[in-house]
Chain A
Amino acid sequence: MTSGAMLWSVRRELWENRSIYLAPLIVAIVIVCASVVATLAGRHTRPDDFARGCEFAAAALMGTTLIVAIFYCLDALYTERRDRAILFWKSMPVSDWTVVLSKMAVPLILLPVITFVISVAMQLTMLLTSSAILSIKGQGAAALWKFPWLQMSAGLLHHLVTVHGLYYAPIFGWLLLVSAWAKRLPFLWAFLPLAIIGFIEKIVFNTTRFGTMLGSRISGGMEGNPAKGGVMMPWPAHPLEFLASPGLWIGLAVAATCLAAAVRLRRYRDPI
């Protein structure tokens, strides 16, 4: 595997899936416009309101990129088989590992980075437009600038790396695996088995551990720690504590297993 082949493979993903950057960009633009309207209407002018607005905006962006990531993963190894283009990709000297890892890099690395950059740019634009509007209206904007800007960005980055990058890895790995396996309806195959396991557990044992486990995974393992607050902002949730949590390592092991299986499937599977 050469780094060149890897970088070009990731670039190719961006050419094919422009929603990777267009979707968060559009959401960010809509949020900035809404924030301008809100400031003009005289709302969100108090610093803590403004901070809450910024937090909400960052969360909306993260939600958007998470949805993009889910659809991207389900499509990634499925569409190339359906449109037979896999035969072209396999005529290039690029290994199946490089291809699968480049596809995993999109939700794991690329989307968090894009989310962070767009979030910071969006919050900065919100701050500048709100300050400008308040100044024109003759109200003081200085209070807005006391807002803990750096701390919030650092918190966001921390959350993106730990939760979206590392904690969600098994989710993306599973989706890629289904996408490499399904002959049709990858979306259904990704979610139905999980629901069935949950139902069976409920019927047989009358427990909901599987569902709780999935919920904990999706919430980023924060539900057991109400002290850390609902949203991602408190900084730092101790990095060592995070690295020591078994959930993280079990998740990464599941992700690695799913990827290895996806690579194997991509070698064996014919175009659909």
Chain B
Amino acid sequence: MAVIEARGIRKSFGTTVALDGVDLRVEEGRIVGLIGPNGAGKTTALNTLLGLTPYQGELTVLGRDPWTARAELMRDVAFIADVAVLPRWMRVSHLLDYAGGVHPRFRRAKAEAFLAKTAIRRNAKVRELSKGMVTQLHLALVMAVDARLLVLDEPTLGLDILYRKQFYDSLLNDYFDQSRTILVTTHQVEEIQDVLTDVVFINRGRIVFNSSMEQFESRYLEVLVRPDRLEAARALRPIHERQMLGRSILLFDLQAASADRQQLAALGEVRKPSIADLFVAVMEGQGATP
């Protein structure tokens, strides 16, 4: 059974269409990055999965309809909506007490062990913590829940690079295993490229790209074209071209290009593209970026 199974999800706010027929299937044990420009529908998509907003279409998360069974679903799903949502008036110890009290799958010892590695005092109030510490605290709470699906919406927004790196390291080393599934949105795509097993692009309320990382790496490549071969390379139908330090970098989709890996290697230096580069290419192809 898929962890997330969405078919034709639509959601509009007044005349604005936020989700325009989203189809998505996520299997257990995957780490899926949901990438999209601002206003693409990322947060709305996550909100429908979490039972925070009603929708049209067919959707099951862990076999349940999130809108009608949010409370039950939250026993198996943990989420960090964004860094600012922990109640600011609350003490750290009270947060742990509360989570332990209402959540049947919360293991307080795990949260305590994680917090022991941080500078967070138990009797501090959330409002007294730095932004980085609040994220650490939320991560501690979420990791202590024995959840099957973890949803993260821009979990590291506004944090410095040290905290961001530590966040994903903890997630991978101390939390993730094959029985869990993680769905994450972020603007810092480069930082999570090596973490993901799947990548999904969303634009204007539609899924415009969906691929496993293995597929992505075998299908797309980037060529740092030698200046004298530029015209020849352009003739091979690259999907995107950009300039860097006076050199042209062409991105090829091997399924669409009229050349294979060997032929392209003759044009210049072949590299693995980043998700960010493919993202830009796909979005510009859709006319989404200025």
Contact = CB atoms under 8 A, between A and B. Distances in A.
6 contacts: A84-B81, A87-B81, A87-B82, A91-B50, A91-B78, A96-B70
Interface residues of A, number: 28
Contacts of A98: 71
A227 B70 CA distance: 53
Interface of B: 50-54, 70-75, 78-82, 84-91, 94, 97-99, 101-104
B54 A94 contact: no
B290 to A, nearest CB: 29
Given A93-B71, A93-B104, A94-B102, A88 B86 contact: yes
A241 interface: no
B90 A15 contact: yes
B90 A92 contact: no
A93 B72 contact: yes
A91 B87 contact: no
A87 B43 CA distance: 12
A94 B99 CA distance: 10
Given A9-B102, A93-B75, A88 B52 contact: no
A89 B99 CA distance: 10
A94 B87 contact: no
Label chain B's interface by main secondary structure: loop
Label chain A's interface by main secondary structure: helix
A98 B102 CA distance: 11
Contacts of B101: 4-5, 7-8, 11
A9 B51 CA distance: 20
Best-surrounded residue of A95, A96, A98 (most CB of chain B within 10 A): A95
B102 A84 contact: no
Contacts of A12: 94, 98
Contact of B86 (A4, A15, A85, A270): A85
Contacts of A91: 50, 74, 78-81
A206 B52 CA distance: 47
A57 B101 CA distance: 38
A94 B81 contact: no
